[in-house]
Chain A
Amino acid sequence: MNDTPTPPAVDAEEPLLAIRDLVVELPGPDGERLRAIDGVDLTVGRGEIVGLAGESGSGKTMTALALLGLLPQGGSASGQMLVEGQDVLTMTPRQVRDLRGNRVAMVFQDPMTSLHPMLSIGKQLTEHLRHHKKLDKRAADARAVELLATVRIPDPERALRRYPHQFSGGMRQRIAIAIALACDPALLLADEPTTALDVTVQAGILRLLDRLRRENGLSVLIITHDLGVMSALADRVSVMYAGRIVESGPRADVLREPRHPYTRGLLDALPHPDGGTAALVPIVGAPPKLGQAPTGCAFHPRCPHAVDSCRQDRPRLLALTPTHAGACPIDPLAVAASKVDSR
Chain B
Amino acid sequence: MTLSSVTSTIAVTSKAPGLVLRNLSVAYRTPGRPTVRAVAGVSLSVTPGQVVGLVGESGCGKSTLGKAAVGLLKPAAGLVEFDGRPVVPLGLRSRPTGQRGLQMVFQDPYASLNPRRRVGEQISDAVVLAGGTREKGRGVARELLERVGLPPEFADRFPHEFSGGQRQRIAIARVLAAEPTCIVADEPIAALDASAQASVANLLLELARERNVGLLFISHDLSIVRQIADTVAVMYLGTVVESGPTDQVWAEPRHPYSKALIAAVPRADGSGELPVDLPGDVPDPAFPPAGCRFHPRCPVAVDACADAEPALVEFLPRRRAACTVLAPTLEKVG
Contacts and interface: CB of A to CB of B under 8 A. Distances in A.
Interface string B190-229: 0001111111011001000000000000001111101110
With most chain B CB atoms within 10 A of its CB, the pick from A232, A251, A256 is A232
A200 B278 contact: yes
B271 A56 contact: no
Which has the most chain B C-beta neighbours within 10 Å: A171, A203, A253, A270? A203
Interface in A91-132: none
A251 B268 CA distance: 10
A228 interface: yes
Interface string B256-272: 00001100111111111
Contacts of B201: 280
Given A199-B261, A202-B266, A226-B266, A283 B195 contact: yes
Given A200-B264, A266-B195, A252 B271 contact: yes
A204 interface: yes
Interface in B238-297: 247, 260-261, 264-279, 281-282
Interface in B285-326: none
Interface residues of B, number: 46
B57 interface: yes
- Max count, chain B CB within 10 A of own CB: residue among A256, A274, A282, A283: A282
B63 to A, nearest CB: 13
A203 B59 CA distance: 18
Contact of A228 (B205, B266, B277): B266
Contact of A282 (B195, B221, B260, B268): B195
A60 B247 CA distance: 36
Interface in A251-273: 251-256, 265-267, 269-273
B48 interface: no
A88 to B, nearest CB: 29
Contact of A204 (B220, B228, B270, B277): B277
Contacts of B193: 55-56, 225
B1 to A, nearest CB: 5
A267 B268 CA distance: 8
Interface in B19-76: 57-59
Interface in A269-304: 269-274, 277, 279-283, 286
Given A210-B274, A282-B199, A198 B194 contact: no
B112 interface: no
Contact of A207 (B59, B268, B269, B274): B274
B137 interface: no
Interface in A217-232: 225-232
B224 A271 contact: yes
Interface in A191-205: 198-204
Given A203-B278, A232-B266, A286 B194 contact: no
Contact of A199 (B1, B195, B264, B269): B264
Contacts of B59: 168
A270 B198 CA distance: 7
Contacts of A204: 277-279
Given A199-B222, A203-B275, A206-B275, A270 B194 contact: yes
Given A210-B274, A271-B227, A273-B223, A229 B57 contact: no
A231 B266 CA distance: 8
Contacts of A226: 194, 266
Interface residues of A, number: 48
A170 B281 contact: yes
Given A232-B266, A270-B268, A286-B163, A207 B273 contact: no
Contacts of A280: 198-199, 201-202, 227
A145 interface: no
A225 B191 CA distance: 12
B269 A256 contact: yes
B120 interface: no
A169 B269 contact: no
B165 interface: yes
Given A271-B223, A282-B195, A200 B271 contact: no
A203 B195 contact: no
Nearest to B222: A199
A255 B195 contact: no
B271 A202 contact: no
Interface in A160-176: 168-171
A232 B202 contact: no
Contacts of B261: 199-200
A229 B194 CA distance: 13
B62 to A, nearest CB: 11
A198 B195 contact: no
Given A203-B276, A277-B1, A251 B266 contact: no
A266 B265 contact: no
Nearest to A195: B190
Contacts of A159: none
8 contacts: A202-B264, A203-B277, A207-B274, A231-B267, A269-B194, A269-B195, A271-B226, A273-B265
Given A233-B274, A286-B166, 8 more contacts: A204-B278, A228-B267, A229-B266, A252-B272, A253-B270, A269-B197, A279-B202, A280-B198
Interface of B: 1, 57-59, 163, 165-166, 193-199, 201-202, 205, 220-224, 226-228, 247, 260-261, 264-279, 281-282
Sorted nearest first, the 7 A-B pairs with minimum C-beta distance are A255-B270, A228-B266, A280-B198, A282-B199, A227-B268, A271-B223, A203-B275
